[in-house]
Structure 1
């Protein structure tokens, strides 16, 4: 039995019910479904996937293998019926995912995951021995993340051979830092470590000077601060202790954050 997490932009009640039931029928247990919502689901999914994989380390014991499914599949016309699905391993942990460069950008940069085994739905389902009518249904459905992605995860987890092409994950240009996640406290988790040190004063969004602190409790109450956050490999976080940085700075996921060092406090 594998612990299963499913990060998806198909998260309404009807979708959750179908996903939970189908995965339960395949694996004998239902997944934890994580909604990739908000204005930039790709950035949210990228950081959440990285955090899920990092959470499997430093257990103090061997731990158990996990499965993470990820579906962020814009129908942008580049691929027939949406982007393809693939898989990769992080140690003993399996990730079955849409082949989406933005979604995979952080595991590429932080974990060195630069190859994904990309599959063709029709080819994979045909190789699995499905009858023609079911092959057509699974390959042509609008809800591929229901009908195909759980099958792919199950086949790979079971060690079955799945036709796939090892494909490089595109390396994206290093753009300005962006807000990847706004947590329930209003803290803005950026998509990288800005390399700041306690005492640095930075100008955020060309408007406010903010001091870097070593941790949240060092930030004065009701004041903004920059700290090493809880996500990624110590990614920078913009906070207001006792308040919402997202509201104060007018930020939401996907927004670029212009940060420049204003001065160094001795």
Structure 2
């Protein structure tokens, strides 16, 4: 069995869930995974930026890379699916990504990494194919995993292992759509209080202008004019600024040099900062 590093992003973030997922993934892959809990008021937005950043971090290597397995479990908040949204997979170079079919989470990969389609799986179809072909699974065990609500524990690690091993997993190609929201929101608030936005700085109308941009301050209940800068070191100490941050493809960050933009503006993950007009 080939040992592969596994990174998992999940909104099943309580210690009990994280412990069970870590143990199951380690059992299947022979190495302790990195399991990153994504909670907060907007886990979909945080997952979208984090997944883009994770895959981007495998670039600029200057040579061959080792394959990484990435698991994403962020269900859409629409209540549409009777037993949860299906899981899909795709490859980014040599890296394998398995994710809930969440178009908002996958949208940045469409825009910035050229993702066009994913392979969508059906839990029962995959488990029955495995039981008939390569896995020692009794019918009662298949039925237990089909019916469970915790598919990110019981199904996804198996799917990942089988795909990594080159098993003929049945799946259907499905196009990934690219939502075009007009709102620019806080995707992640980092440990410094910098607000990582979900759009490149160059896409913000007026970013290159001298007058700056109007930022909605939840703390003050009004808009505040904030100047734009190329980098964080260019922002005067103690003042707010909008810069090209470290995430995405030149994504914008709202910062306060030496302070917390989240505290100054009363912002948290998922809050709207700008509205783009067409």
Separation (CA, whole Å) in 2 of partners of 1:231 and 1:171 = 19
How large is the Cα RMSD of the aligned pairs? Answer: 1.5
Instruction: Determine if the alignment matches structure 1 residue 197 to structure 2 residue 208.
Output: yes
- Matched residue SS, 2:9: strand
Any idea what SS the aligned residue of 1:63 has? coil
Match of 2:19 in 1: 17
Structure 1 residue 239 and structure 2 residue 255: aligned?
yes
- 8 Å CA contact 1:27, 1:154 repeated in 2: yes
Unpaired runs of at least 5, structure 1: 261-266
For 1:59 and 1:166, the matched residues in 2 are separated by 30
CA shift in 2, pair 1:60/1:37, >3 Å? same
| Paired residues, number | 260
1:4 alignment partner in structure 2 = 6
For 2:138, the equivalent position in structure 1 comes to 131
The alpha-carbon distance between structure 1 residues 217 and 57, as it changes in their structure 2 partners (threshold 3 A), is: same
User: 216, 227, 230: which is aligned to 1:214?
Assistant: 230
Listed as ranges, the matches of 1:99-110 within 5 Å are 99-110=101-112
Q: Distance in 2 between the 1:246 and 1:189 partners?
A: 10
The runs of at least 4 consecutive aligned structure 1 residues that moved more than 4 Å come to: none
2:189 to 153, 178, 182: 182
Name the CA distance, whole Å, in 2 between partners of 1:30 and 1:100: 26
Could you tell me which of 44, 53, 56 is aligned with 2:55?
A: 53
Match of 1:166 among 170, 173, 192: 173
1:170 shift after superposition:
2.2
The 1:61–1:174 alpha-carbon spacing in structure 2 relative to 1, beyond 3 Å, is same
State TM-score, norm by structure 1: 0.94
Q: Secondary structure at the match of 2:181?
A: coil
Q: What residue is the counterpart of 1:62 in the other structure?
A: 64
* 2:40 aligned partner: 38
Mapped to 1, the partners of 2:201 and 2:129 lie a distance apart of 47
